[in-house]
A and B are shown apart, each in its own frame.
Chain A
Amino acid sequence: MKIKKYLTLTRAGIIESLNFRLAILIMIAGNLLYLIVVYFLWKSIFASSETGVVNGMTFTDTLIYLVLATALFNFMEMYTVWDMGRNIQSGKIVLDLLKPMEYRSYLFWSYSGSFVTNFFFTVLPTFMVVIIVTHGAIPFGINLLFFAVSVILGVMINYSIDFIVGTICLYTESIWGINIMKQVIVLLLSGATVPIVFFPEPLKTIVYYLPFQSIYNAPLTLLLSRNPSYETVLIIIGTQLIWCIIITAFGKIFWKKSLRQITVNGG
């Protein structure tokens, strides 16, 4: 009974996004375009190298990584910051606060529907294409399970970061600048645009200690590595788990404090 009140939001999200057929088509087309750009960009990068292997990755490795990263990015893309900012500005947030559930979960579950549609419209097709084109660059096995767990943690970390940035909008009342800043930071430091192995040394180490790589790099590493040792898996998922707990807790406390700020001081 309890879970139903959340799943109904998932269902609504699915119906809602299916309503916009054109948006889905445009999203797929936009993706293709982006992937074409990526293809040629990295092709020329690899053309300038003599060995065909840069930073331990071949051209195909890099491309597969980036294609899958794009798919994951589309899968996880939420407009949390936008929506929170807009709702705060317009005052509609009052109506959402008056739903008989926590705002944080309300918002998350409202988005969850788009995960389902995005999975079927971008992630699955991309995987199929990659598998067919590369003849088995993605190993099948226990790694798929690790990948799934890792993606779920990635989604939660991503949402928590978004939610924290959205909460900042309560104070600044402007969205655009903050959102762009967040997007650039997350995309770069998470390995979604450039694989992290390509980063120069001091930065690479720093990035591994930051939460962002847990969003895209961690699940992709698990997916693409053949026979990783259990130690590696444990370290990757463990890091994700720790970040997930820290950021979620921080986000919750920050929101609670900020909300008190509004309830005391008005929006």
Chain B
Amino acid sequence: MSNIINIKNVTKEFKVLNRREGLKGSIKDLFSRDYKIVRAVDNISMDIEQGEVIGYLGPNGAGKSTTIKMMTGVLEPTSGEILVGGNIPYKNRTKNAQDIGVVFGQRSQLWWALPLIESFNILKDIYQIGDNEYHNMLEMYQSLVDIESLLHKPVRQMSLGQRTLSDILAAFLHDPKIVFLDEPTIGLDVSMKAKIRDLIYALNKEKNTTVILTTHDMGDVDALCRRIVIIDKGKMLYDNDIEHLRGFFGSYRTLKIRVDGKLSKCADIVRKELANLSVSSDDEWISILVDEEKTTVMDVLNQLRNTFNIRDMQLEEISTEDVIKKIYEEGVK
């Protein structure tokens, strides 16, 4: 039993004010009691062990950030219990802060105008990191990425990729037990993504830091996470290792075709013809979800070729969104 995080039946409800307009309205809103209640997180439980890397997935607005904010102590759960490293985060936020590191994809905690090394020095004092630990950490960073070239560059002159990299290093600097990474690879190019993944992987291995990673990029998950947790609309849909999930959905592929003739009409015909498959269409493509264990993509294509003149086709591995949609529609048995 080395659970670092215990979450038990956590629910978070927001009272959302039905807002009025203008300064007068805002002042009135100070006293208004016109609320509606939104349930952002609904009865979630999980235990996380020291050293795990967890992929925390779900569509936009699923409640991921809310859960993370509760774990960091910025939000207080409406009901249920959260323990992070033995602390109740919202009660001991300042103490809890010493044990965690945070990276929010689009925001930086670094000092904008200063060279990176100054930010590190400030963090060293704020988190009261000892001189030896600090130097060892910097040495280790140097062995993982070429940090020397970044250290003396002001953060505002960095590219997004360099900044994200720096932010991740900053989050690990005080050797926290847990690091929360909220969409760290958002907006980065492929090689930078790979670099960031390697870095997170190495830091986790080196320091046995628990990493909780939210992302929309299945590549991040594949590269880093053994275990994934999926939530949607505040409810937990899945909590198991990734092989398990692949076993369920690995055999699914999305076949996209473009045909001669009016798309919506053709889509209806396809739907009729492939009654047992799920078919959807947009302005450009007709998408068909194929379970390769039952029928192969080739069979479907052959069948369609009898009726249509196929102009173009694409084959896509099932995406996170599709997996989540599938799970949401059918559940995991």
B218 CB within 8 Å of chain A:
no
Question: Which residues from chain A contact B256 at a C-beta distance below 8 Å?
Answer: none
User: Is A20's CB under 8 angstroms from B113's CB?
Assistant: yes
- Nearest B residue to A2, CB-CB: B128
- Nearest A residue to B115, CB-CB: A15
- Residue of B14, B23, B78, B113 near A174 (CB, 8 A) is B23
Q: Chain B nearest CB: distance from A104 CB in Å? A: 12
Question: Which residues from chain A contact B90 at a C-beta distance below 8 Å?
Answer: 263
Question: Which residues from chain B contact A265 at a C-beta distance below 8 Å?
Answer: 14-15
Q: Mark out the residues of chain A between 135 and 174 whose CB falls within 8 Å of any chain B CB in the assembled complex.
A: 171-174
Question: Which residues from chain B contact A19 at a C-beta distance below 8 Å?
Answer: 113-114, 154
B273 CB within 8 Å of chain A:
no
Q: Chain B nearest CB: distance from A91 CB in Å? A: 7
Which interface residue of B29, B75, B100 has the most chain A CB atoms within 10 A? B75
Residues of A contacting B: mostly: helix
Q: Chain A nearest CB: distance from B238 CB in Å? A: 25
- Residue of B23, B66, B74, B111 near A98 (CB, 8 A) is B74
- Residue of B27, B69, B100, B128 near A94 (CB, 8 A) is B69
User: Is B94's CB under 8 angstroms from A90's CB?
Assistant: no
> Chain B 118-131, CB within 8 Å of chain A: the 1/0 string?
10011011111000
Question: Which residues from chain B contact A15 at a C-beta distance below 8 Å?
Answer: 114, 118
User: Is B102's CB under 8 angstroms from A8's CB?
Assistant: no
Q: Chain A nearest CB: distance from B212 CB in Å? A: 14
B72 CB within 8 Å of chain A:
yes
With A98-B100, A174-B23 already in contact, the answer to whether A9 and B95 are too (CB < 8 A) is no
User: Is A90's CB under 8 angstroms from B122's CB?
Assistant: no
User: Is B76's CB under 8 angstroms from A264's CB?
Assistant: yes
User: Is A100's CB under 8 angstroms from B97's CB?
Assistant: yes
Query: With A and B bound together, what is the CA distance between A243 and B109 in angstroms?
Result: 34
Question: Which residues from chain A contact B100 at a C-beta distance below 8 Å?
Answer: 98
Query: With A and B bound together, what is the CA distance between A20 and B113 in angstroms?
Result: 9
Question: Which residues from chain B contact A262 at a C-beta distance below 8 Å?
Answer: 74-75
Which interface residue of B29, B69, B154 has the most chain A CB atoms within 10 A? B69
User: Is A16's CB under 8 angstroms from B111's CB?
Assistant: yes
Q: Mark out the residues of chain B between 100 and 118 whose CB falls within 8 Å of any chain A CB in the assembled complex.
A: 100, 102, 104, 107, 109, 111, 113-114, 118
B98 CB within 8 Å of chain A:
yes
Question: Which residues from chain B contact A177 at a C-beta distance below 8 Å?
Answer: 23
Query: With A and B bound together, what is the CA distance between A262 and B14 in angstroms?
Result: 10
A184 CB within 8 Å of chain B:
no
> Chain A 173-207, CB within 8 Å of chain B: the 1/0 string?
11001000000000000000000000000000000
Query: With A and B bound together, what is the CA distance between A91 and B75 in angstroms?
Result: 13
Query: With A and B bound together, what is the CA distance between A171 and B31 in angstroms?
Result: 11
Question: Which residues from chain A contact B98 at a C-beta distance below 8 Å?
Answer: 100
Q: Mark out the residues of chain A between 75 and 94 whose CB falls within 8 Å of any chain B CB in the assembled complex.
A: 90-92, 94
Query: With A and B bound together, what is the CA distance between A264 and B30 in angstroms?
Result: 16
Q: Chain A nearest CB: distance from B72 CB in Å? A: 6
- Nearest B residue to A173, CB-CB: B26
> Chain A 240-267, CB within 8 Å of chain B: the 1/0 string?
0000000000000000000010111110
A45 CB within 8 Å of chain B:
no
Q: Mark out the residues of chain B between 47 and 89 whose CB falls within 8 Å of any chain A CB in the assembled complex.
A: 66, 69, 72-76, 78
User: Is A1's CB under 8 angstroms from B126's CB?
Assistant: no
Q: Chain B nearest CB: distance from A198 CB in Å? A: 32
User: Is A9's CB under 8 angstroms from B94's CB?
Assistant: no
Query: With A and B bound together, what is the CA distance between A240 and B40 in angstroms?
Result: 47
Query: With A and B bound together, what is the CA distance between A11 and B122 in angstroms?
Result: 9
B8 CB within 8 Å of chain A:
no
User: Is B102's CB under 8 angstroms from A95's CB?
Assistant: yes
Query: With A and B bound together, what is the CA distance between A95 and B127 in angstroms?
Result: 14
User: Is B107's CB under 8 angstroms from A8's CB?
Assistant: no
A-B interface, 5 closest residue pairs, ranked by CB to CB distance from nearest: A8-B125, A100-B97, A263-B76, A95-B109, A100-B98
Known pairs A92-B107, A101-B94, A264-B76 / 15 extra A-B pairs, C-beta < 8 Å: A4-B125, A8-B126, A12-B114, A12-B118, A15-B114, A19-B154, A95-B109, A97-B74, A97-B93, A98-B97, A98-B100, A99-B97, A101-B126, A174-B23, A266-B14
Sample (6) of A-B pairs whose CB atoms are under 8 Å apart: A4-B125, A94-B102, A94-B104, A98-B74, A99-B126, A100-B126
A residues adjacent to B (C-beta < 8 A): 1, 4-5, 7-9, 11-12, 15-16, 19-20, 90-92, 94-95, 97-102, 171-174, 177, 260, 262-266
